[in-house]
Amino acid sequence: MKLLILKLLLVFFLFFLNENLWGQITPIYNTIDNYRLQDTLRFTMRPLYQSNYLEFISINKKKSWLRRKLTDEPLLQVKKDDFYLRGNFILDLSVGKESQGAPLLYNNTRGISIEGKINDFSFYSNIYENQFKVPLYLNNYILDKKVYPGLGYNFNNSPQLFDFSYTTASVSYKLKKYFNFQLANDKLFIGNGYRSLLLSDVSVPYPFFRITTQLGKFQYTNIYAQNLDIYQPRISSEIGFRKKFVVSHYLEFASKRWRVGLFESVVYQNSDSLNKRGFELGYLNPIIFIRPQEYVFGSSDNVLVGLNIAFDITKNTQIYGQLIVDEFKLSEILKNRGWWANKQGFQLGIKTKKLFGYDNLAGFTELNVVPPYTYSSRNSVLSYSNYNEPLAHPIGANFYEWVSKIEWIYKKWYFYYQINIAKYGINGAGFINVGQNILQSYNTRDKEYNNYIGQGVPVTLLFSNLQFGYTINRSYNLRIEGQYIYRNEVVNSKDNITNIFYIGFKTGFRNIYLDK
C-alpha cells in the first residue's frame, strides 16, 4: 500500500508540473461550487458562504428589466452611499433516476438569500426549505446518522423521502483594518484542498463566534463554537440534544509563495447526567495554548493540534498538505508496534488552474490518510463531531483516500469530473470498535497493539461524478445542470453498485457532499 501511494503521488506530481517554475498563483474566475479550483485566497481560513455584495452589478439599460434579472443582475439590488443590499431566490429543482429501477429521485429546494453591508457591518441570511427523494445508499446513511449530510436533522422516517428546513446567517463588524468580529450559524473550512483534516464543511451548520486579527503577513483566528451530539440519548426533553463546545485557534503566515498555519482545538461537553459544566471561561483567552489550560482545569477534554502548509511552485500550481495530531508519544511511534493511540493523519495534494497549459482547464489530486481512533474520545460528546457527522473528514478515521478532479469552463459552459477511491475498515460481527466510527468510545477497542489503517471488515469505495451545465446568471449562479454518478462500495468482496442520473435547474452556492 505504501509503495502504491508513492507511485500515485509521483505520477500526479509529474502530471501537473508542466509549466515554468517559480511564480505566484493568481485568482481567476469563480466556478460553480464553493470549492473553487481557480480561486486562491491569500489566507487559508475561509467561510463557506462567499459573499460578493461589494461588487455592484452595473445596470445595462439597453436590456429589458426581465432579461437583466434573468441573465445579468440579482433579483433585488439597492445601493446607497454606505449601504448595499441584494436578494435572490434559492432554487434546486432536479429529478433523477437510479438504474436499478428504483423510484424517481428528486430535489425540491426553495429559499431566499439576503446579503448586505451598512458601513462596517455586513450580514447575510439564507433560508432553505427542502424535500428530497434520495438514492438507496444515501437513504441508508441518513437513517444511520439521523441527519441529511451537511444540512439538517432527519425528522422523517419515510423510505428515502425527507422533508426539512434549515438556515445559515451571519453578522460581522470590521474594526479598523486589524479586527473582524463575526457571529454566525454556518460552517467554516481550514485548508487548501478539497478535504480538510483540521476543520471542514461536511457537518450541519452550527453557531459560532469568530475573531479574526490580521497584522501584515499574519492572521490569527479564534473560533468559539457550539455543537450538538445526537448519538447519546437526550438528558431530558426540555434540554434537548447534548451540547458541547469547541474552541479553536488558527495562526497563519502568508507570503507570496508560502502559507503556513498552526491549528489547535479542544472539545468539551456542556453537561452530563450529574452536573452542568457550562462554558469554560479559561478557554476564552484568545492567545492561550489549549493543552496546558486543559491540565489546569483537571479535565481530560479532547485536544487536537495540526499544521496546514501550502507552497506556490509556479504561478499556476500549488502543492499543499496538512498534519493532524490527536495523540503523540514518540517512544511508541519509534517502536512501530501499532499502538492504538498513534493517531497522526496527513494530507498531501497538488492543484493547478492551468492544466496542460490551457487557461480554462483546472485540476487537483489529493491523498488523505487517517489512522484508526483519530478524532474519537471517551464518548461521542467529546468526539470531534457535530450532529453525528465529523468536523473533519467525512469517512471519520481508519482510511486511505485518493480524490482527483478536473474542471473545464468555457464562457458560460462548465464541465467537471471527479473520482474518489477510498479504502477503510468498519466494524464487523460483535460490534468490535476498529476505529473508523469516531462516535464510538476508544475504550471499546479490542487491542492495544498491532492496529493498522484499514483494520476490520475491508471496504473499498469508488465514487465518480460527471457534472456539466450552462450558467444563465453568474450573479446568483442560475444554471441548468446534468449529472451522472457511479458509486461502487465493495464490502468483504461484495459489490454494491449505484448508477444515478440527474438533471436540474438551480441557483445559489452550497456544498452537499454525496461522495460518501
pLDDT tops 90 at residue 155: no
- Regarding predicted confidence, which is higher, 285 or 260? 260
Query: DSSP letter string over 276-316?
Result: B----GGGG-TT--HHHHHHHHT---EEEEEEEEEEESSSS
Length reported for the chain: 516
Give me the sign of the Cα torsion angle 420, 425, 427, 432: negative
pLDDT tops 80 at residue 60: no
> Cell for 333?
511511534
Q: What share of the chain is helix, strand, coil (3-state, %, to 5)?
A: 10, 45, 40
Q: Over pLDDT 70: what percentage of the chain?
A: 81
What is each CA distance from 57 to 52, 54, 376, 444, 476, in whole angstroms?
10, 9, 47, 57, 11
Query: DSSP letter string over 339-359?
Result: -TT--EEEEEEEEESSGGG-T
**Integer Cα distance of 84 and 98 in angstroms:** 44
Q: Which of 298, 391, 405, 306 is nearest to 347 (CA)?
A: 306
Model confidence band, residue 273 (pLDDT cutoffs 50, 70, 90): low
> Cell for 496?
454494491
Of 198-207, 333-342, 504-513, least confident by mean pLDDT is 504-513
Query: DSSP letter string over 317-330?
Result: EEEEEEEEES---H
Mean pLDDT of 118-141: 92
Mean pLDDT of 228-246: 80
The confidence score (pLDDT) of residue 17 equals 41
3 state DSSP class of 232:
coil
The 8-class DSSP code of residue 2 comes to H
Model confidence band, residue 11 (pLDDT cutoffs 50, 70, 90): very low
Q: Which of 329, 330, 335, 338 is nearest to 372 (CA)?
A: 338
pLDDT tops 90 at residue 164: no
Query: DSSP letter string over 158-181?
Result: STTEEEEEEEEEEEEEEETTTEEE
In 371-456 the beta strands, taken as DSSP E runs, fall at: 385-386, 389-390, 399-410, 413-426
What is each CA distance from 388 to 204, 219, 359, 415, in whole angstroms?
9, 31, 41, 33
pLDDT tops 50 at residue 35: no
The b-or-e profile of 6-31 (16+ CB within 10 A means b, else e) is eeebeebeeebeebeeeeebeebebb
Q: Residue 86's CB: how many other CB atoms inside 10 A?
A: 25
Model confidence band, residue 320 (pLDDT cutoffs 50, 70, 90): very high
Mean pLDDT of 344-360: 93
Give me the phi and psi of 290, to 5 degrees please.
-75, -45
pLDDT tops 80 at residue 234: no
95-114 per-position pLDDT tens digit: 999 976 678 999 999 999 99
Model confidence band, residue 61 (pLDDT cutoffs 50, 70, 90): low
Long-range contact set of residues 106-113: C-beta below 8 Å, sequence gap at least 24? 106/131, 106/132, 106/133, 107/131, 107/132, 107/504, 108/132, 111/508, 112/87, 112/88, 113/87, 113/88, 113/89, 113/476, 113/508
367-379 per-position pLDDT tens digit: 999 999 999 999 9
Mean pLDDT of 161-172: 91
Model confidence band, residue 436 (pLDDT cutoffs 50, 70, 90): very high
What is each CA distance from 310 to 43, 47, 78, 280, 355, in whole angstroms?
10, 18, 39, 34, 19
The confidence score (pLDDT) of residue 383 equals 95
Mean pLDDT of 302-327: 95
The pLDDT mean for the chain works out to: 84
CA angle 328-260-15, nearest 5°?
100
Q: Which of 179, 87, 83 is nearest to 124 (CA)?
A: 87
Mean pLDDT of 418-447: 92
Task: Characterise 359 by phi-psi region: left (phi > 0), alpha (psi -120 to 50), beta (else).
Answer: alpha
The confidence score (pLDDT) of residue 101 equals 66
450-482 per-position pLDDT tens digit: 999 999 999 999 999 999 999 999 888 899 999
The confidence score (pLDDT) of residue 8 equals 45
pLDDT tops 80 at residue 192: yes
The confidence score (pLDDT) of residue 34 equals 37
The confidence score (pLDDT) of residue 403 equals 97
Tell me which H or E stretch contains 184.
Answer: strand 179-186
Model confidence band, residue 32 (pLDDT cutoffs 50, 70, 90): very low
Mean pLDDT of 197-208: 95
Mean pLDDT of 140-168: 83
